[in-house]
């Protein structure tokens, strides 16, 4: 597992980052600007056991000339692992096997989905109606 922040020597520098919020049903995908500062929702990929979800994310990485991937690691508030943690770690490993030369980091995502849900509710979008957009924003 790599740290939340890249080591200055392994930082790929300027370029787009792809962020993933891996869930059991959906994978929220966000893409940064070329400077890696601002991320915007890109797509929601259906989670799949046949590997098609990993294939789609690889396509998005290649289409957008991504220099680094950030995978959210969902852990409980006290820091212990959950079933969601295992799913994110599995996806992280599968993606690493497909793209061994691309930097992929795990980042503690505690509260990211909750923060995205609250932001959408504040703007008048219900959690149920905005579920796919919430997953993208959480990424």
Determine, yes or no, domain membership for 25.
yes
Token pair belonging to 99: 């793209």
CA-CA distances (angstroms) from residue 81 to 73, 86, 92, 108, 110?
Answer: 9, 7, 15, 11, 11
Determine, yes or no, domain membership for 23.
yes
> What is the spatial distance between Cα 118 and Cα 1, in angstroms, rounded to a whole number?
29
The domain spanning residue 123 has which CATH number? 3.30.420.140
pTM of the predicted model, to two decimals?
0.74
> What is the spatial distance between Cα 129 and Cα 132, in angstroms, rounded to a whole number?
8
Determine, yes or no, domain membership for 111.
yes
* Domain enclosing residue 76, as ranges: 16-138
Determine, yes or no, domain membership for 2.
no
Determine, yes or no, domain membership for 21.
yes
Confidence of residue 61 (pLDDT cuts 50, 70, 90): very high
Determine, yes or no, domain membership for 6.
no
- The H or E element that residue 104 is part of is strand 104-108
Determine, yes or no, domain membership for 1.
no
Has residue 76 got a pLDDT over 60?
A: yes
Percent of the chain past pLDDT 70, that is, above it, reads 72
Task: Give residue-wise pLDDT tens across range 88-139.
Answer: 999 999 999 999 999 999 998 876 656 566 665 666 666 666 666 656 666 6
Determine, yes or no, domain membership for 28.
yes
Looking at the 3D structure of the chain, how many domains does it have? 1
Percent of the chain past pLDDT 90, that is, above it, reads 57
């Amino acid at each position: 597992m790599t740290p939340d922040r890249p080591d200055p020597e392994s930082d790929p520098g300027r370029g787009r980052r792809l962020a993933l919020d891996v869930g059991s049903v959906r994978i929220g995908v966000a893409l940064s600007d070329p400077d890696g500062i601002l991320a915007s929702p890109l797509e929601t990929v259906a989670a799949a056991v046949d590997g098609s979800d990993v294939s789609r994310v690889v396509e998005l990485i290649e289409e957008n000339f991504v220099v680094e991937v950030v995978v959210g690691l969902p852990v409980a508030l006290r820091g212990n692992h959950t079933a969601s943690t295992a799913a994110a770690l599995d996806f992280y490993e599968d993606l690493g096997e497909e793209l061994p030369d691309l930097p992929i980091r795990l980042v503690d995502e505690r509260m990211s989905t909750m923060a995205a849900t609250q932001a959408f509710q504040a703007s008048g979008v219900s959690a149920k109606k905005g579920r796919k957009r919430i997953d993208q924003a959480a990424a």
